[in-house]
Amino acid sequence: MPYNILRMKNSLETSGSDGILLADERKTLRIGELYRYKFSVNKNVLKGQGLDVSQLYVRIKNEESSLLRPVYLAGPYSFYIDIRPHNYNENRKFPGKEAIPFIENLKPDERFKVKILLNKNSRVNDSSIYSWTIDIISQLAVTTIPRLEFTFRIGTTRKAVKKSGGRFVSTEGVSLEMWDTKSLWDLPPKFPNKPVHLVIVTHGIFSNIGCDMLYMKDKIEEMTFPMDEAVNPNIIVRGCMDNVGKSGHGIHCLGVRVGKYVLETVDELNKKYRVDRISFIGHSLGGPTQSMAVRYITVKRPSFFDPVKGVKPVNFITLASPFIGVIGDFPFYLSVPL
């Protein structure tokens, strides 16, 4: 079930022999933010309009100044990008020689240019629709101030994606759906009328919920959503984003924020659903942080984990968490700017 920010982008841009521009987006991202696009084309519909294509061209550019490339400590001012065809599954061998287009570090003023193929890997079932998922993720790690701008275009030729602008005409057969960070992390349960199992994910040092914990969230939902109603845990995955860029504040402050977030989130969710179970998953510093969060919750609301009237705790999971301590504190020159 899609949860859309942007529905149909039903337009084609005509540009003569230079090809046709199918999508043209310009967005900005801050630390911990991303955009996820689902781009689909109906080959039969396009063919009926005189456009017979077997491949498309994608161009994504980091619009920041090249002068920011060496500024790494306060950045990096770059993006992670991948483009996954509809039938891609990292747990299965990908057939053929087609590679998954991705770039882990699109630096300022750099361009990511690839071809995507209308083939069995991108085909939706046995239909004439071909689809891809595109993730564009901010790589900012420490500072919360900058906004990184990018442009994203898809066209029928390399020339078509070089420049934006032109005359748009209404058409069918092209769809562009978009999710931002908030909408991705605010998905409802599969069964709204059944009790909900809330999963709280907590990030580590110099990390963030929105981007760095996205894979874990996606996999939890991917494994649980297809389950039959009789055994489905009816999962909702959430994470506190108030600690992004604030690792230097210490575990106590971080944990208190997560604890407050959990209480507020449960109260808000209970207005629509009934949260009766809760689990915590913390990565690295997220382990001690969510431990402090549980302590805060039990002090501020002692009845919260009551097995009868409250929310039943199910799992408390930590990954690579420094519960026995760390080698040393941050040096003064690092802790001050944090």
Q: Which long-range contacts (CB under 8 A, 24 or more apart) does 68-73 make?
A: 68/108, 69/107, 69/108, 69/109, 73/142
- The pair of structure tokens assigned to 116 is 């995507």
Sign of CA dihedral 253, 256, 260, 265: positive
CA distance 52 to 337: 55
Pairing of strands 275-283, 196-202: parallel
* Inter-helix orientation angle 286-300/251-269, to 10°: 60
Element (H, E) at 179: strand 174-180
Active site residue 128: no
- Cα 10 to Cα 145: distance, rounded to the nearest angstrom: 35
Q: Which amino acid is at 81?
A: I
Q: Which of 175, 207, 284, 291 is catalytic?
A: 284
| Contact by Cβ (8 Å): 214, 178 | no
Q: Would you please indicate which residues are annotated as catalytic (active-site) residues?
A: 284
